[in-house]
Chains A and B, each alone.
Chain A
Amino acid sequence: MSKRIANQIALALLWTSALTTVAVLFAVILYVVVNGIGQLSLGFIFTWPRGVNAEGGVWPTIVSTLYVTALAMVIVTPIAILAAVYLAEYAVQGRLVSIIRCAADTLASVPSIVMGLFGLALFVEAAHIGFSMLSAALALTFLMLPIVMRTTEEAIRAVPKYIRWGSYGLGATKWQTVRRTVLPAAMPRILTGLILATGRAVGETAVVIYTMGQAINMPVSPLDSGRPMTVHLYLLAMEGINLPAAYGTALLLMIMILGFNLSARYLLRRTRKV
């Protein structure tokens, strides 16, 4: 009978760990929502921060965040997808591929603070781009590249080989097969990966803090500097004078990121059904 008791205890512990994880998530979300909801208003979203303690809204930080994220996506998407096409469809297992994979893994594991300093050293200073959307987007590109590459490669590999064979069997060339059957079939999952990477970029702090600058500014050209929401939240939280604005920013940030994640999940679920 002791094995039954051991089983019961173990199951209880496993349940506990899973519930703890879920509880933590809800605690964090609830905490941000409860404290931030009172702050949210059109005025908060669409006006500028005013004064020493950033009274007022967060509009330029939202724009900066969206700007840099969009810019990074524009740069990373084609590169990552084509790179994944290479790895999944063209590459022959060998030294070259293992170097590329190793590099992608390494890139994925670089701490974001290191990526931030790298962006500072290369784009801001050595390349004289200065604190700008472009510098931040380029640094984010390296951060997102391995994520998008991996999810895209998985998406491509998940396309049944039968579908490829069907296309080859009809006399399609490799590129025709990839472009007309494989990529369309993999597209929903590729999009999911892109959306998740976008969420990651939106939430990133350490990379942008050293590449975008911190001054509140409304970016127009890619060479403009700005302050993204994450940095704004960090500064408000540490300054600790205007906490309501910090809660409001945190809530907005969370809504954006949960929005990205949930839409990615939705997309994935919908395509699984079809």
Chain B
Amino acid sequence: MAEASAQNDENHKKAAHGLRLVSRSTHLKEAGLRNLFLLCAFVAVLGVALIFLFVGWRGWSIFSTYGVGAFLGGAEWDPIDGIYGILPLIYGSLVVMGGALALGTPLAVGTAIFLSEIASPRVRSIVRPAVELLAGIPSVIFGFFGLLILRPFIASTSGGLGFGAATAWIILAIMIVPTIATLTEDALGSIQPGIREASYAMGATTWQTVYKVLVPAAKIGIIDAIILGMGRAIGETMAVLMVVGNAPVFPDSVTDPIATLTTQIVIDMPYATGDHRTALFGMAIILFIVSMGLVAAVRLISRLQSAMEANR
């Protein structure tokens, strides 16, 4: 007891020093670091601004000199003659993206549901890495694969050249599967586990649980995933370039050559000068705006979602 009270006294003595105030140097140091970190975080903002500025700077004049309507609405792309209508390219991008989504989404969502709801840990430990590795394979290798394996196959089944939207759909569908599947799996995984349990406990089968409870509950996340897959599809360049055939026209069939915004940029860039080059940068502006629009859509949807939840 005596010893304890001795220590007691000591504590009281220490207390006599009183509460220390924040020292100036600590304050400056912490504030300095904080601002440094903020600066780093701002590099992302800087990046977006720079892209907008420089791509815009190079491409903007096509809209003013050539005319927005003629550029976006023109049905002919013939740079040799100074005709820069990109409607066929926009059409090509949309067709290629649409088909890839139609093929890839069920595959991806199915894979995600499989991973999160059905696979045993063993099977999952094979399938999930496979999906992740698929995401890591460079697009030029998919293009290579598409060019040398898929195109001849399509050629022999369709009797055509094998280039065209159909070939791009398959390659691109494969490429967007990891994007959509991973995000969908996240969305399914973030559903409160109790809901899943409750459904099974009510006597629902796995499939009933999936489509009556889980998919509705993860709806927003799945839509986000598809939108991001869309962005990936519309921005993909090298793989598509190697399999579409690069004809800037409205094709007669899905096995006829077609071109997209991205592929036309790569095909033309080596020799483009003057207005032609400006037009290619103009196409880049459009791609940039589209990708920004998709990001905005995702954010908007999430915001609507949380607003709805707040209202409930």
Contacts and interface: CB of A to CB of B under 8 A. Distances in A.
A114 B133 contact: no
A43 B228 CA distance: 42
Chain B contact residues, majority secondary structure: helix
A133 interface: no
B115 A18 contact: yes
A41 B40 CA distance: 43
B134 interface: yes
B287 A203 contact: no
A65 to B, nearest CB: 11
Contacts of B160: none
A146 B48 CA distance: 11
Contacts of A18: 110-111, 114-115, 119, 123, 127
Contact of A173 (B26, B50, B55, B58): B26
Nearest to B107: A17
B294 interface: yes
A79 B149 CA distance: 42
Contact of A111 (B36, B57, B206, B234): B234
Contacts of A237: 140, 143-144, 147-148, 242
Nearest to A265: B129
Counting chain B CB atoms within 10 Å of each CB, which of A96, A110, A126, A175 scores highest? A110
B114 to A, nearest CB: 4
Contacts of B130: 21-22, 25-26
B51 A118 contact: yes
A118 B37 contact: no
B54 A28 contact: no
Contact of A31 (B106, B145, B266): B145
Interface stretch (A51-59, A83-91, A160-168): A83-91
B132 to A, nearest CB: 7
Interface residues of A, number: 84
A112 B234 CA distance: 11
Interface of B: 26, 29-30, 33-34, 36-38, 40-45, 47-48, 50-51, 54-55, 57-58, 106-108, 110-111, 113-115, 117-119, 123, 126-127, 129-134, 136-145, 147-149, 174, 177, 181, 205-208, 210-211, 228, 231, 234-238, 242, 262, 265-266, 269, 280-281, 284, 287-288, 291-292, 294-295, 298-299
Given A109-B291, A113-B287, A117-B55, A11 B140 contact: no
Contacts of B141: 28, 32, 203, 233, 250, 253-254
Interface in A221-244: 230, 233-234, 237-238, 243
8 contacts: A17-B111, A18-B110, A32-B144, A86-B37, A107-B44, A114-B51, A118-B284, A254-B141
Interface string A8-22: 001101111110111
Contacts of B269: 210
B137 A238 contact: no
A175 B33 contact: yes
A109 B228 contact: yes
Interface in A73-122: 78-80, 82-83, 85-87, 90-91, 96, 99-100, 102-107, 109-115, 117-118, 121-122
B107 to A, nearest CB: 5
A104 B45 CA distance: 7
B28 to A, nearest CB: 12
A258 B111 contact: no
Interface of A: 3-4, 6-7, 10-11, 13-18, 20-22, 24-26, 28, 31-32, 78-80, 82-83, 85-87, 90-91, 96, 99-100, 102-107, 109-115, 117-118, 121-122, 126, 142, 145-146, 149, 173-175, 196, 199-200, 202-206, 209-210, 230, 233-234, 237-238, 243, 246, 250, 253-254, 257-258, 260-261, 265
Contact of B294 (A109, A121, A174, A265): A109
B237 A112 contact: yes
B114 A14 contact: yes
B44 A149 contact: yes
A21 B144 contact: no
Contacts of A26: 130
Given A110-B51, A257-B137, A28 B43 contact: no
Contacts of B114: 14-15, 17-18
Contacts of B280: 117
A250 B149 CA distance: 14
Contacts of A146: 44
Contact of B266 (A83, A113, A243, A253): A113
Contacts of B140: 203, 205, 230, 233-234, 237, 253
